[in-house]
Chain A
Amino acid sequence: MKLLNKHLYCLLGILLIAAGALPAQEEKPTLLMDIMYHAENNQVPYVHIFAKSKIEKKFLPAAGVAIKIYLGEEAAPNLLGTVTTDKFGQATVSFPIAVKPYWDTASQFKLLATSVADKKYASASNEAFFTKARITLDTLWADGVRSVVATVVAKQGNEWKPVKEVETKMIIKRMAGNLSVGDKETYATDSIGQATAEFMKTGMPGDKEGNIILVAKTEDNELYGSISVEKKVSWGVSIAPGNTFNKRTLFATGGKSPLWLLFLAGIIALSVWSVIIYLIFSIIKIRKAGLQ
């Protein structure tokens, strides 16, 4: 028996060594897909996908992956579109007109993303459930204080009902980012679906009429996705940016050179060349005097 066990251990050892020596069957990394629903300022909703994979304990963006996105179940009529992720693993698809009949009646909906196996990744799918919601933005003027009011309503059956405890951001849209209107990052809605923020950013530079754009939005909300609304208000300071395009400047085209430069250069060139012409006439005079 001992001898048999000894042989069995030897056999097991050999098999393990052989298995280690064989070329390892490389396992494809698992593809993970984050799905987010966006509805911005009453425009056509869209879906944003972020595909990534875990390689050597790091999440890395999965570029060049073809992903099919469905509104509801995996069926051709529900297809929103097929997208390919960019180098950051991201892709976006807008809702096509074909899903409008379904979309108009839906209150809760499912987004499904699927990908087939390719050279780099195994096949994958993920789904996310959202409730259709709307956000509106209003302004208040009371006791000399300006406030911004955001109201969030969600569709329940055929009715839109206010929803509470939704974290909303109320911001001023700026060129390189956004600025909260008050002193908090987010404001939670109350029982009537409203969140109010005092407008504290007075003296904000606006356009030439003094307009600034206020935005109320939910960001990456698990139930309602990212929904937002914008409103233009004249609460800013009027700024008329100087536009030098196609004006007479040092960096314009030749035909648009500054008048002062044309004048200065012209005067200098004219003065020097007048002297040269005068001297050439002097030589002609010298010649004439000699030939007489």
Chain B
Amino acid sequence: MENSTTSTSEQITNDLLPRAFGKRGMIWTGALLVIALFGAFAYYRQLRYGLKVTNMGDYVSWGIYISNFVFFVAISLVGSLITAVFRLADVHWSTPLTRIAEIIAVSAIVFASLIIIVDMGRPERFVNLFMHGRIQSPILWDVVVISTYFVISLLLLYMPLLPDLKIMIGRNTGGSKRFQKSYRFLGSFWKGLALQEKLNNKGITILCITIIPVAFSIHTVTSWLFATTYRPGWDSTNFGAYFISGAFLVGAGGVVVAMYVFRKVYQLEKYITEIHFDKMGKIVVMLALLYLYFNINEYLVPAFKMKKPEEAHLTELFAGEFAPLFWFAIFVGMLIPIAILLFKKGRRPLPMFVAGIMVVVGAWFKRYLIVTPTLLHPFLPMYNVPEDFHHYYPSWEEWAIAIGSLAGALLVITFFARIFPIIPIHETITEQHETAE
């Protein structure tokens, strides 16, 4: 029995250890690097020539940078859903997904912070937020809450990783000696002592409790950046809940995509099973229905009243310039995934992957629709302004930076998965033992 347990543990360890990139991995990483570098070049141009390289102006002062920021903040919420909520609810089936969720959260929150600095135009002025910040301003609340969430997410990624670091020391992870140095630096002190286990488990539980209100705050405060501004489309008391429900949906969609890719690339079918897809599918469909409910509230109520300033904004969304994008976001981001995932066959890995992609892509455009059309419909009519002030099409620099930041976030996840196990080894072994007993 002892021997079989050891061999099972060894098998799990070998299965879950990080591996060197294959040909596909190299192409993927190379492509992401090229996109990210091109984004960096576009940002260099923005630094050199100023924000005039963008197509933002007097009216649309928040373009795709802020849409991207809201998207990153939204997807980062998944860390708290999969890790904290499930852990506190004693849900064990989600164990293989926790690290995927946490690294998505960390990389997303890093790029959310970076994209805000990009949007500022003068990055050296970022320090002014702290030097001359007004505690009355939701912008300062956002800065504080994002920093806090980043630190908590990092801790929640690191603490459960400690036992795995010990496992990886001295083992072949297909990398250079630098990998081993990192493992030793980060986790050589882990001996699996009772005191260490106790402190670590207690720490993780405290983190799980803390991260939920912080995660709710981060997205609520982000929604308040809009809702505290008196504008058509943003003047809503519903915005906090609307943003959080959307964030849970895109986060869950992101996890579905990532679990499919990692399962396929690392041959993790034994660990990320069809049951995981089925359960995640049910969660996604529930979250999509919830987000759809908030969307109906958000658009139906003002459309029913059709107050004059809201009218132009809503008409543009429903039947005007933004209508194709709006209905794309509603159908592709919510309705079609719901239709796919409501059926058991739809909750199999490949349809789930397709639905996950749809949710994520739809969510990105949904953020764009929250930000831009409102800015193009101010309360005061736009008279005597140049024609291009009435429209907003991001410049190539804006697209390059936005896509580059998305590639950057994927690169962080890719490198993490290359260096560290993407499924917790120690926890999987422990659960295996508990099941065997």
Q: Which residues on the B side are within 8 Å of A140 (C-beta)?
A: none
| Nearest CB of B to A85, in Å | 24
Question: Does B206 lie within 8 Å of A278, measured CB to CB?
Answer: yes
How many residues from A make CB contacts under 8 Å with B?
27
Q: Does A23 contact B (CB under 8 A)?
A: no
Question: Does B190 lie within 8 Å of A290, measured CB to CB?
Answer: yes
Q: Identify the closest chain B residue to A254 (Cβ).
A: B134
* Contact among B135, B144, B162 with A261 in the assembled complex (CB-CB below 8 Å): B135
Q: Which of A230-272 contact B (CB under 8 A)?
A: 250-254, 257-258, 261-262, 265, 269, 272
Q: Does A14 contact B (CB under 8 A)?
A: no
Given A254-B135, A257-B135, A289-B195: A272 in contact with B189 (beta carbons within 8 A): no
| Nearest CB of A to B185, in Å | 11
Interface of B, secondary structure class, is helix
Q: Does B1 contact A (CB under 8 A)?
A: no
Question: Does A283 lie within 8 Å of B203, measured CB to CB?
Answer: yes
User: Of the 9-residue stretches B39-47, B148-156, B355-363, which lies at the interface with chain A?
Assistant: B148-156
Q: Which of B187-206 contact A (CB under 8 A)?
A: 188-191, 193, 195-196, 199-200, 202-203, 206
Q: Does A275 contact B (CB under 8 A)?
A: yes
Question: Does B196 lie within 8 Å of A286, measured CB to CB?
Answer: yes
In angstroms, Cα B132 to Cα A257, docked, is 12
Q: Does A106 contact B (CB under 8 A)?
A: no
How many residues from B make CB contacts under 8 Å with A?
29
Question: Does A289 lie within 8 Å of B196, measured CB to CB?
Answer: yes
Question: Does B136 lie within 8 Å of A251, measured CB to CB?
Answer: yes
Q: Which residues on the B side are within 8 Å of A250 (C-beta)?
A: 136
Q: Does A125 contact B (CB under 8 A)?
A: no
Q: Does B37 contact A (CB under 8 A)?
A: no
Q: Identify the closest chain A residue to B158 (Cβ).
A: A283
Question: Does A290 lie within 8 Å of B148, measured CB to CB?
Answer: no
Question: Does A279 lie within 8 Å of B135, measured CB to CB?
Answer: no
In angstroms, Cα B132 to Cα A286, docked, is 39
* Contact among B155, B188, B196 with A276 in the assembled complex (CB-CB below 8 Å): B155
Given A286-B162, A289-B196, A290-B190: A279 in contact with B136 (beta carbons within 8 A): no
Q: Does B412 contact A (CB under 8 A)?
A: no
In angstroms, Cα B140 to Cα A265, docked, is 11
Question: Does A275 lie within 8 Å of B210, measured CB to CB?
Answer: yes
Question: Does A252 lie within 8 Å of B144, measured CB to CB?
Answer: no
Q: Identify the closest chain A residue to B144 (Cβ).
A: A269
The 0/1 profile, CB within 8 Å of A marked 1, for residues 129-150 of chain B is 0001111100001001000100
Given A279-B203, A279-B206: A291 in contact with B133 (beta carbons within 8 A): no
Q: Does A160 contact B (CB under 8 A)?
A: no
Q: Does A273 contact B (CB under 8 A)?
A: yes
Q: Can you give 25 A-B contacts (C-beta < 8 A)? A: A250-B136, A252-B136, A253-B134, A254-B132, A257-B134, A257-B135, A258-B136, A261-B136, A262-B135, A265-B135, A269-B148, A272-B210, A275-B210, A276-B152, A279-B207, A283-B158, A283-B159, A285-B199, A286-B162, A286-B196, A289-B193, A289-B195, A290-B191, A290-B193, A290-B196
A residues near B (Cβ < 8 Å) are 250-254, 257-258, 261-262, 265, 269, 272-273, 275-276, 278-280, 282-283, 285-291
